[in-house]
Structure 1
């Protein structure tokens, strides 16, 4: 295990979430998408044509009554499943395929549950929730399930195999021969039986299979792969003469054989040498390179292996691969001495002239739209989401002679749209210039802006009114996306009137050394190395820092600060103390902060008090400097709190908050103050309360609810009237009333029961009954959209934008108005397991409340209502509880009837495919 590192996490591989139903289907959320996807099994026989072999997957969609095919494509060490066709689809609404697999005859066999009800939640109006959180209905059936098989009958297919074979009755020799069968099912049974029999007499025959270097039509040698795994199961690989066989396997022409050979290598010095000398780390197949790294992660430590791991991260194919950088970190941590030595040796003195880099490529073709003169726009299309818009190519331009134009006299939500291929898990910068004339907004409209269609959290600032050419930009993270849709958007989540022009667009990959795979690996591996408290070698490493680049030194020092155990320090003589003082002066501000965190763990920070005072004064000055950009000031505030969590630093930052500061800056400083461990941090946040705008108040309340002693301060502020308890959102109220501290939860319940809008359970039930009667009414769509954005979008995604805390509501309009309103009013009536509220308290008295997004043996990830994702090491958790309630709060019946009716109206209009 790598200390303090949790890897990259999993990611989807499908290029589309949608299935292609041919009949009616029942879904509450994620309409038209997989909600009960079952299986991703490949076709692994030869009865179907060649294009199916080992690359066509079968994904069952019982809610859609179909089995979809996915065409598997290798992308480096990653795979992508491209949208295929339906292997089968039914018009019978009872059909519910739940598993598809290659049968003993080479055909595809699938299990049809044949059940009218597949969904569990939510419980519809008029039904009750029963066992397993499923609602009770006579339409559930457990008696009509059946198994089908799908046979290929074309001339390019193969014959059906016998299904009456009994491998338990054949000899071990025959089982070895079966390892080359064309059907994986029979091969796996043969392998299992050989291992269970433990018959060592077959080892020579198995070795002969491995030595066979032939490959079939798709480049496989299945016999060699199964032979390696069978030899492993028989315990044949113990570091003796079989090592020669594995060296042969590492040179096999089939990548699958090479990959499996790496996976069965015993953990010995001989194996390390075999991996390094075989060239597996430089293999042309990325899956083999990844397997080599993962094999090294379990091998004895080797200085040479660490050096080689550093080398492979220098190549672009490895550095930009989806999984190889993570595999390299796992391996480098095992061989950390060699890796870090190579990394330090690979750095150059900052005084050397940096190599001139070419400017990043603009991925938007014809960014100033000059090609429109001679035949039209390439790759752009007009899209209108609502209202009426006029699209044109204008002679008004910022550079060149043309720009894109959108106009609307009566209001529109529309855009010029194009799709561009990008690299997954990468950062890009989207920028452009916008000019507006008479742009007015209504119903949530933003004006003119650029946004990313399929990643709608990424959008530029909007331009409205009468504005000259204004530059806008935003950075975006692609995640698993391989394409992004770029919108020159007019309106956006509402409508706008007037005219906007768009010109000089750019989409370019952001490549910074500070975010390079090498520096990320250095940070993680250094933290792993530091966890041992290597007092004998640390000082010699620190002496080499001045010869490294700023980004590298920052990563290295960050790793040391993160990983070093508290109280374990090297023996520092006066000469070393002087050397460290000189090092402090040579570092960037961030580097100095990281070094001081390390010195604090060594418990010698006070011996550099003059250096520390100088650093804190600089950071305080930068945080207060209104001539700097907000993000630079906020970064200074973050660094100040990291290096000096003191009453003096807290007071200095709180003094920078005022009504004239931008909301972004104020929220940033509040988040910096929220990292304080001191009571003074909470007091400072409350002291600036009168200077906080609405968005900053929300940030402040989130911060005050995070720590136990600060929460008590907030309750006192409620009692004195300094803060109005009604300002808490419904989610924040629930966090408070469900607090693990009984004093806090009791005071909160008393507080809200005494407010005018509180109700007893019986009263609430009566009120809800009256409100449900308004479901058939009609409201205002634009007002409903505004209500959604204000109250719901923070937790729910709709048409590709919004939060992830609750279910995706895209397509929710397919449901009955009463059902929609019922789930708004009573979210706890039927709760799916993944949407329960969790409360996690850490040893430093921080409380995180939200949805349990992921959990591993070493950490949990909590998604908070404000969108923050918090990865919390299990060793730091002192209390972890699941609430009996949904992450969606109760209390929406307090909204005015007009708001509720308009909200339902708006949700009813949202069908699959409508988005900005």
Structure 2
């Protein structure tokens, strides 16, 4: 039983059993008057908001704010789109820095001193109409752990947004009082910003507190206190306090006029009351739309008409010509359910293809995905061609029904084939992944034939990207798509042998999915591959690919060659390929051969050897654990794999792993005591940087070194050295939310793990060492669970001595 909450249940209305939504990680919206329930494409931790045009923003504890760019209804059109996320995080390392002014601050063990760690209650933008004009694009978020409110200037960035600090080196609001805990904000009817101060001594979740705090009597200090602050602008006429608010007693005409009020509180409240009353005020709303100088009044008039069921095509056609981009964008959205029954409205929509505003074009591209006409498809292609470097435009185009993917591929080859960019390369991968997920014979045949016949100079980049995407999609789809692709094996083998490296490696990926053809050409190709693998004058990458091809033959006759290549005199890339080749055989004998060479392996090769043994399931895992018990493998060398070992589905493996790896508290305390000496040494930051690069950079980034898999280290310079030492030597003591290790059992039998990078209704994305991301179709998941062990190694003292620890701590605190 979870002591901190329940696992949740289906979401439904209290007065009826249906409709129901499965409890999940995504947000939910509902209409109480029509009993509609709908899952969103994103999620939030505490707080969410909308801007004046209806864009949805969420927040997580360590972010400045996130934009839910593409709605779930568009993604549901194409379940074959393997999208890792629908959210744009506007946070940057610089934006995450905070500047508290608290006197005698206190922080619990998981609080990142100097960086956002408890962001909540996003208010974006300020819509009260009473603050100075620059605040109309300012987003605020409460930060209770640091006793402050942080604000950013938000600006348009294509289909989404970017943010930068409102004030350099200072916060919008900060307190010297360590009990000041801002947790929520609202705009009032007077235009003031109302701030709720929880006013408590401790605010952290119980599972992240130090034990002495959790068991102390002071845990509930402040539960009888709390404040509400009213924030108003300086040097302006004072805002009168709201009195005798009786908006519910206003007439319909008065409420309609309130729809154009500068203050969002009046606009939203008036709209809600009008829809709840359900009186026929359509004439008044049409008059407001036609006569109002306020774009916000016009957009509220449209949505109120829609809420009353009175919005018609003639109004929408006028709105599509509105001078305000936000009104045009909303008119497109409102037109969606009417397009099939109103051809003139659909035709009017197409005239916005060249709209000057990127968000209008983005919304148009979203909406055109519901239309099947040739004109609509031409408009989609034009918008995509002119905005091809915007990844959200790509996602939106591909969210259209998946049958369009094959046409998009042909179109992209003609449009982008001679223009290599990062965006174009990404589009080829994504569109071909959709084709692979569809698994249609003719579409796959046409794709492979197009790549096979494209041999002009400069075509290898998009040919390789296309095959990589196809491999991703086919692998995610599984047996139906694999069966279809088998007809193309001869072409793939020919491309492996004759094409440049990008196409060769992508062809190998596909052959690994579907297998080698049974033909004389395969036998000849394998002979040539063996010669290449043995040739020390050949490029390491070509030799590694040759080994990869030999592995697909699954022949025991090559075992000797693979063992030969696991040699410290050979390049790491080649040794890793040989280990992967060996892992396709049985564990009983090959595992012993791998372990016999363990001490000769570099760290990178040793990591692959570990993965090879684990891929063999319980047999390989037991061999590995036996080697640990016998002293042939050091426990610290397997630290990154402890989450998987401790959660293995075989209870005997779990028991054995825990017996070998778990140490007593006394042992860990001795390590901590031994390393206290590092705190009193004068460290060298240059040497510390080298230590960081060697031991930490696979999962952390700092000062231009490494990959950000684990928590942001940009502001750890503010942590006491003693706290840093504790975190380094006891990483599983507390695992920061958002960086837990997820272990996933795949239907193929493979077990993978990593930090949850993103998730959508169709996929889960795990981020692993060195920033590698694995996108997993939810259909391929048998079981997924969180480990209570950190991915960070638990025995870094085996790799970092006391002197090196002093250098590392100095480096961590010196970086600016």
Structure 1 length-normalised TM: 0.67
In the alignment, which residue of structure 1 is the partner of 2:141? 59
Out of 304, 307, 310, the residue aligned to residue 233 of structure 1 is: 307
Alpha-carbon separation, structure 2, partners of 1:742 and 1:193: 60
Alpha-carbon separation, structure 1, partners of 2:792 and 2:334: 48
1:334/1:177 Cα in 2 relative to 1: closer, same or farther (>3 Å)? farther
In the alignment, which residue of structure 2 is the partner of 1:870? 774
Cα distance, 1:732 vs structure 2: 3.3
Alpha-carbon separation, structure 1, partners of 2:100 and 2:596: 58
In the alignment, which residue of structure 2 is the partner of 1:263? 333
1:143/1:638 Cα in 2 relative to 1: closer, same or farther (>3 Å)? farther
In the alignment, which residue of structure 2 is the partner of 1:313? 384
Is the contact between residue 731 and residue 865 of structure 1 (CA under 8 Å) also seen in structure 2? Answer: no
1:367-382 mapped onto 2 (5 Å cutoff):
none
1:187/1:648 Cα in 2 relative to 1: closer, same or farther (>3 Å)? farther
1:413-432 mapped onto 2 (5 Å cutoff):
none
> Secondary structure at the residue paired with 1:879?
strand
Alpha-carbon separation, structure 1, partners of 2:155 and 2:636: 51
> Secondary structure at the residue paired with 1:224?
helix
Alpha-carbon separation, structure 2, partners of 1:776 and 1:690: 33
> Secondary structure at the residue paired with 1:884?
coil
1:105/1:726 Cα in 2 relative to 1: closer, same or farther (>3 Å)? closer
Is the contact between residue 775 and residue 817 of structure 1 (CA under 8 Å) also seen in structure 2? Answer: no
Q: Cα deviation per residue 1:826-852 (whole Å; 9 max; x = unaligned)?
A: 444444444444322212222223433
Out of 266, 288, 309, the residue aligned to residue 186 of structure 1 is: 266
1:397-408 mapped onto 2 (5 Å cutoff):
none
> Secondary structure at the residue paired with 1:263?
helix
1:294-333 mapped onto 2 (5 Å cutoff):
294-297=366-369, 299-315=370-386, 318-331=387-400, 333=402
In the alignment, which residue of structure 1 is the partner of 2:479? 566
Cα distance, 1:103 vs structure 2: 1.5
In the alignment, which residue of structure 1 is the partner of 2:128? 45
1:626/1:713 Cα in 2 relative to 1: closer, same or farther (>3 Å)? farther
Cα distance, 1:904 vs structure 2: 6.0
1:334-353 mapped onto 2 (5 Å cutoff):
335-336=404-405, 338-340=407-409, 342-343=411-412, 346=415
> Secondary structure at the residue paired with 1:746?
helix
Out of 168, 177, 182, the residue aligned to residue 92 of structure 1 is: 177
Is the contact between residue 275 and residue 292 of structure 1 (CA under 8 Å) also seen in structure 2? Answer: no
> Secondary structure at the residue paired with 1:31?
coil
Alpha-carbon separation, structure 2, partners of 1:745 and 1:654: 30
1:646/1:44 Cα in 2 relative to 1: closer, same or farther (>3 Å)? farther
1:591-630 mapped onto 2 (5 Å cutoff):
606=517, 609-617=519-527, 620-630=530-540
Out of 338, 343, 358, the residue aligned to residue 286 of structure 1 is: 358
Alpha-carbon separation, structure 1, partners of 2:550 and 2:378: 36
Cα distance, 1:860 vs structure 2: 2.6
Q: Please identify, of 543-552 and 770-779, the stretch whose mean Cα deviation from structure 2 is larger.
A: 770-779
In the alignment, which residue of structure 2 is the partner of 1:12? 89
> Secondary structure at the residue paired with 1:659?
coil
Cα distance, 1:524 vs structure 2: 2.8
Is the contact between residue 636 and residue 796 of structure 2 (CA under 8 Å) also seen in structure 1? Answer: no
Cα distance, 1:326 vs structure 2: 2.0
Alpha-carbon separation, structure 1, partners of 2:499 and 2:676: 67
1:335/1:906 Cα in 2 relative to 1: closer, same or farther (>3 Å)? closer
1:890/1:223 Cα in 2 relative to 1: closer, same or farther (>3 Å)? same
Is the contact between residue 567 and residue 601 of structure 1 (CA under 8 Å) also seen in structure 2? Answer: no
Cα distance, 1:182 vs structure 2: 0.9
Is the contact between residue 90 and residue 161 of structure 2 (CA under 8 Å) also seen in structure 1? Answer: yes
Cα distance, 1:646 vs structure 2: 5.4
Q: Cα deviation per residue 1:737-769 (whole Å; 9 max; x = unaligned)?
A: 44221232233345x38xxxx85x365377468
Out of 493, 510, 521, the residue aligned to residue 427 of structure 2 is: 521
Is the contact between residue 30 and residue 810 of structure 1 (CA under 8 Å) also seen in structure 2? Answer: no
Alpha-carbon separation, structure 1, partners of 2:511 and 2:707: 40
Out of 735, 757, 765, the residue aligned to residue 861 of structure 1 is: 765
In the alignment, which residue of structure 2 is the partner of 1:360? none
2:277 corresponds to 1:197 = yes
Is the contact between residue 650 and residue 684 of structure 1 (CA under 8 Å) also seen in structure 2? Answer: no
Q: Please identify, of 545-554 and 190-199, the stretch whose mean Cα deviation from structure 2 is larger.
A: 545-554
Cα distance, 1:344 vs structure 2: 5.5
> Secondary structure at the residue paired with 2:385?
coil
Q: Cα deviation per residue 1:480-533 (whole Å; 9 max; x = unaligned)?
A: xxxxxxxxxxxxxxxxxxxxxxxxxxxxxxxx72x5534533443344345444
What CA RMSD, in Å, does the superposition of the two structures yield over aligned residues? 4.5
* Structure ranking higher in helix proportion: 2
Q: Cα deviation per residue 1:585-604 (whole Å; 9 max; x = unaligned)?
A: 9866765776788799889x
Q: Cα deviation per residue 1:240-269 (whole Å; 9 max; x = unaligned)?
A: xx2232222222111101111122223444
In the alignment, which residue of structure 1 is the partner of 2:577? 669
> Secondary structure at the residue paired with 2:149?
strand
1:178/1:337 Cα in 2 relative to 1: closer, same or farther (>3 Å)? farther
Cα distance, 1:106 vs structure 2: 0.9
Question: Structure 1 stretches of 5 or more lacking a match?
Answer: 349-353, 355-511
Cα distance, 1:655 vs structure 2: 4.1
Alpha-carbon separation, structure 2, partners of 1:907 and 1:261: 56
Out of 256, 279, 285, the residue aligned to residue 206 of structure 1 is: 285
Alpha-carbon separation, structure 2, partners of 1:888 and 1:545: 42
1:334/1:891 Cα in 2 relative to 1: closer, same or farther (>3 Å)? same
Is the contact between residue 106 and residue 160 of structure 1 (CA under 8 Å) also seen in structure 2? Answer: no
> Secondary structure at the residue paired with 2:124?
strand
In the alignment, which residue of structure 2 is the partner of 1:254? 324
1:272/1:6 Cα in 2 relative to 1: closer, same or farther (>3 Å)? farther
Q: Please identify, of 789-798 and 60-69, the stretch whose mean Cα deviation from structure 2 is larger.
A: 789-798
Is the contact between residue 544 and residue 578 of structure 2 (CA under 8 Å) also seen in structure 1? Answer: no
Cα distance, 1:888 vs structure 2: 4.2
Cα distance, 1:184 vs structure 2: 0.9
1:557/1:889 Cα in 2 relative to 1: closer, same or farther (>3 Å)? closer
Out of 600, 610, 621, the residue aligned to residue 701 of structure 1 is: 610
Cα distance, 1:18 vs structure 2: 1.5
Alpha-carbon separation, structure 1, partners of 2:147 and 2:80: 46
Cα distance, 1:222 vs structure 2: 0.5
Question: Structure 2 stretches of 5 or more lacking a match?
Answer: 1-77
Q: Cα deviation per residue 1:151-190 (whole Å; 9 max; x = unaligned)?
A: 22435x7965845332222233332222111111111112
Is the contact between residue 839 and residue 880 of structure 1 (CA under 8 Å) also seen in structure 2? Answer: yes
Structure 2 length-normalised TM: 0.75
1:728/1:210 Cα in 2 relative to 1: closer, same or farther (>3 Å)? same
Is the contact between residue 734 and residue 889 of structure 1 (CA under 8 Å) also seen in structure 2? Answer: no
Cα distance, 1:229 vs structure 2: 2.0
> Secondary structure at the residue paired with 1:70?
strand
2:756 corresponds to 1:852 = yes
Alpha-carbon separation, structure 1, partners of 2:356 and 2:712: 41
Cα distance, 1:905 vs structure 2: 7.6
Alpha-carbon separation, structure 2, partners of 1:685 and 1:227: 72
Is the contact between residue 303 and residue 337 of structure 1 (CA under 8 Å) also seen in structure 2? Answer: no
1:567/1:179 Cα in 2 relative to 1: closer, same or farther (>3 Å)? closer
1:209/1:707 Cα in 2 relative to 1: closer, same or farther (>3 Å)? farther
2:786 corresponds to 1:882 = yes
2:805 corresponds to 1:903 = yes
1:521/1:676 Cα in 2 relative to 1: closer, same or farther (>3 Å)? farther
> Secondary structure at the residue paired with 1:860?
strand
Is the contact between residue 307 and residue 338 of structure 1 (CA under 8 Å) also seen in structure 2? Answer: no
Out of 103, 109, 112, the residue aligned to residue 194 of structure 2 is: 109
Is the contact between residue 620 and residue 637 of structure 1 (CA under 8 Å) also seen in structure 2? Answer: yes
Is the contact between residue 26 and residue 119 of structure 1 (CA under 8 Å) also seen in structure 2? Answer: no
1:335/1:96 Cα in 2 relative to 1: closer, same or farther (>3 Å)? same
Q: Please identify, of 21-30 and 306-315, the stretch whose mean Cα deviation from structure 2 is larger.
A: 21-30
* Structure ranking higher in strand proportion: 1
